[in-house]
Amino acid sequence: MAEARRGSWEGRLARLGFGDPHRAGVMLEQLHALDTRSPMATEQLITTLSESADPDLALHGLCGMVEALQRHQYDVAAFTRTLEMDDGFRRRLVYVLGASEALGRHLGVHPRHWYDLADPALAGARPSVEDVAAKLVTAVDADNPVDALRIEYRRLLLRLAARDLAEGLLVDEVAAVLADLAGGALETALHIARNEYFAAHPGAADCRLAIIAMGKCGGRELNYVSDVDVLFVAEPLDGEPEAPALKTATQLAAAAMRICSAHTGEGTLWPVDAALRPEGKSGPLVRTLDSHLAYYQRWAKTWEFQALLKARPVAGDAKLGQQYAEKTAELVWSAADREGFVDDVQAMRRRVVDHLPAADVDRQLKLGPGGLRDVEFAVQLLQLVHGRSDDAVRSGTTLVALESLTKTGYVGRTDGAVLADAYRFLRSMEHRIQLYRLRRTHQVPDDEADLRRLGRSLGFTKNPVGDLTAAWKKHALEVRRLHEKLFYRPLLAAVARIPGGEVRLTPEAAKQRLTALGYADPASALRHIEALSEGVSRRSSIQKALLPAMLGWFAESPDPDAGLLAFRTISDALGSTPWYLRQLRDEGASAERLAHLLASGRYAVDLLQRAPEATAMLADERELVPRTREALLSEMSAAARRQDEPEAAVAAIRAVRRRELFRVAAADLSGMLDIEAVGEALTVISVGTLTTALDVARRAVAQRLIAEGEPEPTRMAIVAMGRFGGHELGYGSDADVMFVHDPKPGADEKAATDFATQAATEFRRLLALPGADPAVAVDADLRPEGRQGALVRTLASYASYYARWSAVWEAQALLRADPLCGDAELCQSFRELIDPLRYPANGVSERDVMEIRRIKARVDAERLPRGADPSTHTKLGRGGLADIEWTVQLLQLREAHRVPGLRTTRTLGALDAAVEAGLVEPAEANTLRAAWKMASRIRNAIMLVRGRPSDSLPRDPRDLAAVAQICGYSPGESSRFSDDYLRLTRHAHNTVARLFWDD
């Protein structure tokens, strides 16, 4: 009968996850034979066993318990009846036995502890600190108090593990109870040590001794098996000399450590480690409070303050322990004021990872990349920086601190939730691994059976190994990603550089601080700060975290008041937008980049105020790379086609243009673009704007023709002239253009010209409409006959005009002509038409050279604005842009017929070709190039600062300082900047005298 029953079990046991169904069947038969257990009871037991982490281990432990009960002649019948009748007890017992071989052995030695797992109160609320301590301290009165402490500790640990495994407790609660158990054990060990010591030394000096828990015990987040890190602080009793008292305290501390750590017949609790004390293992085991404080104030390293963050009195003299915690907290929350604090913490974390054995890295739950330390270091660094001014984030418990950091806005909600989930999962893995043999380890096993048991203990029943590994890797990747994001956040270092006292300034002290930083109107600045950070909302919390660093960054500019005002304006517009403050807090150098941009001047601020959502592109440096011509044309065309009315279509084009102007300005102010790249990027934006606007205008004029069934009669193109044609546009440049059209075959020329003229006129009207972006100034005055001539000409008309009437100055103007917009074939035809004119076959005649020089002399004498200083006028002044460009253009007119490299519309490109052809000495070219670049940079910088164009160096000291800073000079170097410009242009003027005026 027994064999038949066992045989019927075995197939089912195999399906239920038993590794050795035959052996399991034998053991089940033994249990079945203990009394008259019903088949139903055995089925219930099999079901419960199959739900455990390791059914074979659980069944083996159960049989071992029964044997122990029989060996000690305890009531086996009571045990089996409870096992059958009490579902909660059966689950708790079996789950413990299936997950922990060590606790199974404990129950084999102390089988009567099964009553604890049957305790109805076990399923209630977690035990209080006082309740845990009271149960442990009963060991003091035992015949062998040290063994009694170990037995009581294991009994309470068994109760906790049963709740953890059967009820699925949060790891937070498990860790807190484990820390309470450790605190209670230390208190009991100290009691035992006192009894033993004073029994042996009845006349010894007494003392006050407090045990301070550090690390995970101090943070109430202890593992099942972990070193318990402690410090000891002692004081003599009133009237007692210090030296004898400290001797007693040292003996008591050493004895308490030995009681917890030493192996006896009942094993050990855990190692007690006092190596975190001042001077480490080389320092005295026990110090007075003053001695501790003196060390920390004078000698402590950054990591020691980080360790003190979790310091918590757990045993001994409670009042002394509290004094220690309060005094050291003052030091902890000012530690971030230390020079290089953030760098020290970051470097320490890197050293930990670097020193891991290569074989351990991939399986390290604690120290490896994506492990528990990544979470803990990130949270602690955020706490130490922001906790100086915010008491809410000062908890020593990682998950509590993370929740506070999230609630107060220092960590994003999603990031905080992901990080907390990952930390709980990794800690749960660590707990289950340690619970198996009650050994201190943080390595994920690589044995298949161990992984299977671990996976099942965490609820992965279908595919324990695969699902566990996938979940672990997923959480580790998230931890590493968020660690890199939070731990190396640039904002942290910026905030940490601000002294803690200044983060918590009173209004009056804040005004003084703002004045010292360079704010011209500190009262107004303070009002902006209060408006940004008032209240208790999450938004205000994030602003409070941002503002200390932002104020410092604004102060690095000549006009911090304007930067702060702009920041308030942008924040008012975007503050309720979820991504805005999150981006500034989290994304790379976004906040610093925005601060410098806002304080740089009006141009970028005006663009941003009209479209504040463009702030998003500051999050990633790659977003500031100027768009290609093709990408911009595609987007602008699509934006225009989505609108029915021409005005709306051009408004959509201009909105794209506005965003792209901000992109270029932001990249420029961030130091990502040189002056040539800025000119090319602005040219691409203008090409896109004019090309798509011309399409809109053409379609608008063509509507009536289409209604009559007539096609468009002509092709149109726009020829870029001047700085536009030279791909050298500045922020304040007009778009100099000429319009050309070419009637289609069979079209009436007059009708074609009328159409082209109407389209060009509509084009100019649409672009001239008032808008929220900088005006699109289109200037067609460089066309043949100037303002008196036709706005649009046919290609043939241009050919006729240039053949009959063209003067040398027009050939010179055509050197910068580049057909860039409209019909591609027409653009090429126009280019072929003008090339012989601007690059004459034998160069220009001496008479033409004299004419060019005459015109230049007249420009020098008459065109400089009244009152302008010729030494500081970047365009028409001595050694300015006109001097250099006329010099290069004369070289082109003379030599381009034989030097192909000179056939370019770009000034610097032509200058390079002249050097390569031996027409200009490299030193002379370098002088001209440097002066041209500086003058062009200054014109752009003036526009960026003032929001309006100017060709002269600013006379206002603040504007001059701002222009100098944009040009790469440090604060306070305005005079050096002006001197450098005067020196460069003087040398350039002398070079022009040799190259342009001398034969």
SS (H, E, C) 127-149: CCHHHHHHHHHHHHHCCCHHHHH
What percentage of residues in the chain have a pLDDT greater than 70? 94
Give the end-to-end CA distance of the chain in Å, rounded to a whole number: 125
The DSSP H or E segment spanning 213 is: strand 207-213
Nearest 5°: the CA angle 735, 736, 738 is 125
Give Cβ neighbours of residue 668 (< 8 Å, ≥ 6 apart): 678, 940, 944
Contact 91, 166 (CB under 8 A): yes
Q: pLDDT band for position 620 (50/70/90)?
A: confident
Q: Which residues contact 781 (CB under 8 A, 6 or more apart)?
A: 736, 787
Worst-scoring range by mean pLDDT, 10-14, 42-46, 58-62, 196-200? 10-14
Query: What 3-state DSSP class applies to 513?
Result: helix
Task: Look up residue 918 and give its two tokens.
Answer: 């031996």
Q: How far apart are CA 503 and CA 384, in angstroms?
A: 13
* Mean pLDDT of the region 162-170: 93
pLDDT surpassing 60 at residue 492: no
> What are the pLDDT digits (tens) for 724-769?
999 999 999 999 999 999 999 989 999 999 999 999 999 999 999 9
What angle do the packed helices 957-966 and 974-992 form, to 10 degrees?
Answer: 70
Rounded to an integer, what distance in angstroms lies between the CA atom of residue 588 and that of residue 592? 9
pLDDT value, residue 906: 97
Instruction: Provide the 10 A C-beta neighbour count for residue 704.
Output: 9
Report pLDDT for 430. Answer: 96
Which residues are CB-neighbours of 90 under 8 A, at least 6 positions away? 44, 45, 48, 83, 84
Q: Which pLDDT score, from 0 to 100, does residue 59 have? A: 93
Identify which of 697, 674, 677 has the alpha carbon closest to the alpha carbon of residue 685: 677
pLDDT above 80: residue 254 = yes
If one counts every other C-beta atom within 10 angstroms of the C-beta of residue 654, the result is: 24
Nearest to 931 by CA among 965, 880, 866, 974: 880
| pLDDT of 117 | 95
**What pLDDT is recorded for position 964?**
95
The mean pLDDT of 509-538, rounded to a whole number, is 77
The pLDDT value given to residue 805 = 81
358 pLDDT higher than 90: no
pLDDT digits (tens, 9 = 90+) for 622-674: 899 999 999 999 999 999 999 999 999 999 999 999 999 999 999 999 999 99
In sign, the C-alpha dihedral spanning 245, 247, 248, 254 is: positive
851-901: pLDDT as tens digits: 999 999 999 888 888 888 999 999 999 999 999 999 999 999 999 999 999
> Sorting pLDDT into bands at 50, 70 and 90, what band is 979?
very high
pLDDT score of 1 more than 50: no
Sign of CA dihedral 722, 728, 733, 739: positive
901-925 per-position pLDDT tens digit? 999 999 999 999 999 999 999 999 9
pLDDT at 544 over 80: no
Distance CA 453, CA 432 (A): 9
* Mean pLDDT across 24-29: 80
* The predicted structure's pLDDT at residue 504: 54
How high is the pLDDT of residue 509?
Answer: 62
Query: Tell me, what's the pLDDT at 269?
Result: 93
d(CA 275, CA 257): 12
Chain mean pLDDT for the chain: 89
Three-state SS letters, 890-929: HHHHHHCCCCHHHCCCCHHHHHHHHHHCCCCCHHHHHHHH
CA distance 704 to 263: 101
Percentage, residues of the chain above pLDDT 90: 65
| Cβ neighbours around 264 below 10 Å, total | 12
The amino acid that residue 521 corresponds to is D
Q: What is the pLDDT of residue 388?
A: 82
87: left (phi over 0), alpha (psi -120 to 50) or beta: alpha
- SS3 of residue 738 by DSSP: strand
Q: State the sign of the Cα–Cα–Cα–Cα dihedral 753, 756, 762, 763.
A: negative
Residues 392-418: pLDDT tens digits?
A: 999 999 999 999 988 888 888 888 999
Q: Which of 253-257, 411-415, 468-472 has the lowest mean pLDDT?
A: 411-415
